[in-house]
Amino acid sequence: MKVLFIGFGNVARRLAEIVSADPSLIDGGLEAVGIFTRSRGSLAGPGLDLARAVDDLKEGGSFAADHRAATTLTPLEASETLDYDVLVELSPLSIEGRGEPALSHIRAALKRGRAVVTANKGPVAFAFGELQALASARNAPFLFESAVMDGAPLFNLARAGLKGCRVQAFSGILNGTTNAILAHLERGGTLAEGIAAAQAAGIAEADPSHDVDGWDGAAKTAALANVLMGADVTPFDVSRQGIGAITATEARKALDEGRRLKLVCRGRRRGSSVETSVAVEAVPCDDPFALVDAYGAIVRIETDRMHPVVIAQEGPDLNDTAYGVLNDLIEIAQGARKGTMP
């Protein structure tokens, strides 16, 4: 499987370490034919050495300008012209850019009938309908298991395990940073301390506003509404409340009343449309949502045929996200062998 990496940061490098350590994980092996970054140089050519690429970028490094495979192609040009089987898109989420430039990279790959795997929720949150239609028309797999819930089999569950069911609603705790900060408030801490603790744990970004203001939750909500319910919404359509105004006093008062404050993402069918929201809710302590501590996540899916199905994840880290991408790659490799599309 010839793979073009666009974005070679934390997730891509962890994936590279995993497949370099055990190449047999992917049927037929994985051959990197392009590795693109924003500011650390880019490589293109057959048989790139993934383990060496990881080493080159360690501790703020970059690809040497005189590397034999150094390229001046842009990531978009690479998506449009290089010879690859799968685009692994792992550039950052851009809310302001409405999923770009990842969206253009993915569109270019799918137009060429190439498979795409991404952990970037932006394209799914902003343009799932278009990308899915393109993928179907070109018979090209488009997989994104790690985009929500860091590799837990949420989309796989919905795709493979709920056949014949119509998803009527979902709810979830999907942002570990805000969940950990709310727990910190319950212990009497301040918002600033909670943010600092999440940053020290390597979970929150240097600029945590996307999490605190609910944008990350809104992007995940839009992604779930689009994929699970066929909605056509973007993060800007999601009614959004962050946790910036919540105080320790409120969090402790809720606890005294047998409840925990949680930032809950929701989607529900209303007639022909899907209503979506992200808001702080006081969840009863005996609800499974109240058990989600620190950086964990949970989703409850309601359908027309089953009682609610709940999937929970305990303390995911980078390995989980990289695993979700790996799982998608394995599925594509297996499909290619059998001549089927996931």
- Residue of 53, 69, 87, 119 interacting with ligand NAP (CB under 6 A): 119
Q: Which residue stretch of 84-92, 166-174, 230-238, 292-300 sits at the interface with ligand NAP (rule: CB under 6 A)?
A: 84-92
Interface with ligand NAP, residue 7, by CB under 6 A: yes
For the record, the structure tokens of 187 come out as 């212990």
Strand partners, 118: 89
Determine how β-strand 273-284 pairs with β-strand 259-270. Answer: antiparallel
Catalytic status, residue 220: yes
Residues 238-297, interacting with ligand NAP (CB under 6 A): none
**What is the rounded distance in angstroms from the CA atom of residue 243 to the CA atom of residue 246?**
5
- Residue of 145, 150, 213, 331 interacting with ligand NAP (CB under 6 A): 150
Interface with ligand NAP, residue 11, by CB under 6 A: yes
Cβ partners under 8 Å of residue 92, min gap 6: 7, 9, 120
Q: Which residue stretch of 18-26, 36-44, 178-186, 252-260 sits at the interface with ligand NAP (rule: CB under 6 A)?
A: 36-44
Terminal Cα distance for the chain, rounded: 16
Q: Which of 2, 121, 163, 220 is catalytic?
A: 220
**What is the rounded distance in angstroms from the CA atom of residue 330 to the CA atom of residue 161?**
18
The owner of tokens 């690429």 is 53
Closest approach of ligand NAP to the CB of residue 101, in Å? 5
- Residue of 2, 31, 38, 293 interacting with ligand NAP (CB under 6 A): 38
Which is nearer to ligand NAP, 62 or 247 (by Cβ)?
Answer: 62
Chain Cα centroid distance, residue 278 = 17
Closest approach of ligand NAP to the CB of residue 250, in Å? 29
Which is nearer to ligand NAP, 213 or 302 (by Cβ)?
Answer: 213
Residues 290-329, interacting with ligand NAP (CB under 6 A): 318, 321
Q: Which residue is nearest to ligand NAP (CB)?
A: 9
Query: What track of x and - describes contact with ligand NAP for positions 47 through 76 (by CB under 6 A)?
Result: ----------------------------x-
Closest approach of ligand NAP to the CB of residue 335, in Å? 23
Query: What track of x and - describes contact with ligand NAP for positions 86 through 115 (by CB under 6 A)?
Result: ----xxxx-------x--------------
- Residue of 34, 37, 63, 87 interacting with ligand NAP (CB under 6 A): 37
Q: How many Å is the Cα radius of gyration of the chain?
A: 20
**What is the rounded distance in angstroms from the CA atom of residue 50 to the CA atom of residue 35?**
9
Closest approach of ligand NAP to the CB of residue 118, in Å? 7
Please give the positions annotated as active site. 220
Q: Which residues bind ligand NAP (CB under 6 A)?
A: 6-12, 36-40, 75, 90-93, 101, 119-120, 146, 150, 318, 321
